Amino acid sequence: MVNVINNQVTNVETDALLVGLYEESKEEQQVYQSLNEVLDGHLEELVKQGDIHNAYGKVSKVHTFGNADAKRVYFVGLGKKDELDVSRFRKVMGKAFKQVNSDQLTGATVALESFTEDLTFAEAIGEAFVMSTYQLETYHTDRENKGFLSDLTVISGEEGVKQAIEVGLALGEGTNSARHLVNLPGNLLTASDLAAYAENIAHKHGMEIEIFEKEQIEELGMGALLAVNQGSKEPPRFIVMKYQGKAEWSDPVALVGKGITFDTGGYSLKGKEGIIGMKMDMGGAASVLGAMDAIGQIKPEENVLCLVPSTDNMISGDAFKPDDVIVSMSGKTIEVRNTDAEGRLALADAVTYANQQGASRIIDVATLTGGVVVALGDEMTGAMTNNGEWFDQVYEASEQAGELIWELPYHDVFKKKVRTSHIADLNNSPGRKGHAVLAGCFVGEFVGDTPWVHLDIAGTAMSESEHDLGPKGPTGVMVRTLAKTIMNQK
């Protein structure tokens, strides 16, 4: 899929040559000058006429009509050089790749020298290449394939470029794995189906995996996960996947993903508008499984424990009800005030299991609350933590990935509210005020002293419109942040 060559940019045969163009003086940009020379100065005239732009985000296509080995040159406007960071670069490359794909071309060649020689930027090329042109599966009988771009060539003489791009490709492919899962309808993605998908990832990368079925989940005492499953005809699954990057298995980082394959709200039933789209309530599970897919390709030197508690949340004569009291795996009792606050119940047992397995640090990812959407919108993931140093590491990875997170308060005043039940240890839904924070605090009751970061992706798991790095719909958010967090461990 990817090839790195050290040729003169004017001597590369390709259907699509991508060249970066800054707002700074074109005389200082050697690739532009070389192309302008072989095209007899016509580029300068096209710039004057406004047919070639250097403003950030503008992509200008020029046909060479046989005057150069490249059939078409796509000039990618980069704006001011000192304003171009990795996130902006990733997005503009995505826009350029989308343009090449829409022109129904199968290959693109990137003149890296015209953009940068920074290997971090090279990694972003790989991410943008596979993410930007990804197509979600649909079930139209006359579905048309619009995916053409498949081959990437990079012109560079720098060492390490190919490896960096391959890391980016792995991160992007992991993101697309998560997008695929979130896009699947609830009738085609049950807990059993999700477990089978996880097995495929594990087998592909030689990871250890164990799928706990209902009887084993009962033996483990996961009363909170089982309560959510009570109303369903579909049995629950608890997915345990291990990636061993060190010589010995010890002190793994635990990645925990909420795997509610469809959420009706249970007897606290969602309204007719709110229930649409609830196939995405396993977005946290998709993120951690996508991260494992990327980790399996990149092979960092870290041990990772991936945990997914999975079921749907349905209504029947057996379903759990408001006022029920359940016993979690930890032994803590929980008063159910709201059956639509089910994700935190499943996560409670999962993080308890993570601690029992000796996790050194925990990150949980979940489409947990509508409150985080009200607070932070659809481009910022809400985060909570009990450990500032661990949060800083996750935050740094999110910055590298261009996936924005914002820390919410994890304060005693909120912790006390989830302990307000008059009949049990904990209350799963103390009220609407600050409920994104209260939901995180509830999960925090089960992590103990283990460094922990909670990521609420309810707002960021889906995009309402097409964007530079992908289609409308599932975003695969946090896959790259999770993988980068693991990659950054020393």
- State pLDDT tens for residues 16-25: 999 999 998 8
Q: Which residue has the tokens 């490709």?
A: 169
pLDDT band of 145, cuts 50, 70, 90: confident
Distance CA 320, CA 313 (A): 10
The pLDDT of residue 41 is 87
- Model pLDDT for residues 98-119, shown as the tens digit of each residue: 999 999 999 999 999 999 878 8
pLDDT confidence of residue 490? 75
pTM above 0.95, yes or no: yes
Higher pLDDT, 26 or 69: 69
Rounded Cα distance, 169 and 75, in Å: 23
pLDDT on residue 290? 98
Per-residue pLDDT tens over the stretch 282-326: 999 999 999 999 999 999 999 999 999 999 999 999 999 999 999
Whether the predicted pLDDT of 42 surpasses 90: no
Contacts of 411 (CB under 8 A, 6+ apart): none
Instruction: Please compute the mean of the pLDDT values over residues 350-371 and round it to a whole number.
Output: 98
Per-residue pLDDT, 146: 82
Active site residues: 270, 344
Q: State mean pLDDT over 35-51.
A: 88
pLDDT, one tens digit per residue, over 66-96 is 888 999 999 999 999 999 999 999 999 999 9
pLDDT of residue 442: 98
Given the structure tokens 């989308």, which residue do they identify?
Answer: 98
Find the mean pLDDT for residues 452-472.
Answer: 97
pLDDT for res 65:
87
Domains of the chain: 2-155 (3.40.220.10), 172-487 (3.40.630.10)
Residue positions counted in the chain: 490
How are beta strands 107-111 and 72-79 bridged, if at all? unpaired
> What is the mean predicted confidence (pLDDT) over 126-153?
93
**pLDDT digit string, tens, across residues 165-221:** 999 999 999 999 999 999 999 999 999 999 999 999 999 999 999 999 999 999 999
Calculate what percentage of the chain has a pLDDT beyond 90.
89
